[in-house]
Amino acid sequence: MASSSSSSNSQTLSGKTFTGLGNLIKLLPTGTVFLFQFLNPVATNNGHCATSNKIITAGLFVACAFNCCFSCFTDSYTGSDKQRHYAIVTTKGLWPAPASEKVDMSKYRLRVGDFAHALFGLLVFSVLALLDTNSVRCFYPEFELTQKILIQVMPPVIGMAAGTLFLLFPNTRHGIGYPFSSEDENNNNNNNKDKDKHKKETTNDTKRPQV
């Protein structure tokens, strides 16, 4: 009976962790967060860790944290083949860039804000992962009582920091793991149409006979 009650409390607290930080999850690649939530109970043996469990859990954390940072240096565009392409951000644009003849790659160049978003993404994921009940019981069980307080305090603090960050460095990228809205799709298509129109006007001016 006590074991059942303890398990129930563990699930409730674990749920509160991600519910309380729910508004911050959208700052991270969705698939990465869900992957961690799915594999962490298995890796930690539901918080009852042996040495091997700690090694596996640490590896899972590092892999997911790396992906959160790496995703901030990726972006996507709609190519001339009408397909969505994902690529790595570089100082010149995107790489690789198939079917990009009609796309202005200069607007995708690497920016200072990309590093700021990567560091903040790492911070948010670390809070989510390290405050998870299974992680707490696995690595620092004596910290479990403090966990409840941090779950209530951390979300508004990080939320304020996020607001300041995105005010200074607006995020317009739609990299790997991030949703792409229909509004952004329409804006991208309109930009491509404007570029085609400008190209046609330039061609017509070139072909116009000189008087």
Model confidence over 99-113: pLDDT tens digits?
A: 888 888 889 999 999
- The confidence band for 200, taking pLDDT boundaries of 50, 70 and 90, is very low
Q: Is the pLDDT of residue 114 over 90?
A: yes
Q: Residue 20 has what pLDDT?
A: 47
Phi, psi of 56 (to 5 degrees): -65, -45
pLDDT above 70: percentage of residues in the chain: 72
SS3 131: coil
CA neighbor of 24 nearest in space, from 104, 110, 129:
129
pLDDT band for 29, please (50, 70, 90 cuts): confident
Mean pLDDT of the chain: 77
> pTM of the prediction?
0.71
pLDDT exceeds cutoff 80 at 3 = no
Q: Which of 21-30, 40-49, 130-139, 160-169 has the highest mean pLDDT?
A: 40-49
Residue 211 is given by DSSP the state -
Q: Which residue, chain included where needed, has tokens 């040495």?
A: 51
Of the candidates 166, 164, 124, 121, the residue with the CA atom closest to the CA atom of residue 21 = 124
Q: What is the pLDDT of residues 77-86, one digit of tens each?
A: 888 888 889 9
Q: Predicted confidence band at 25 (pLDDT cuts at 50, 70, 90)?
A: low
Report H helices in the chain: 2-20, 22-25, 30-43, 51-71, 112-130, 133-139, 144-168, 182-207
Cβ count within 10 A of residue 60: 19
* 73-77-80-84 Cα dihedral, nearest 10 degrees: 100
Q: How confident is the model at residue 21 (pLDDT cuts 50, 70, 90)?
A: low
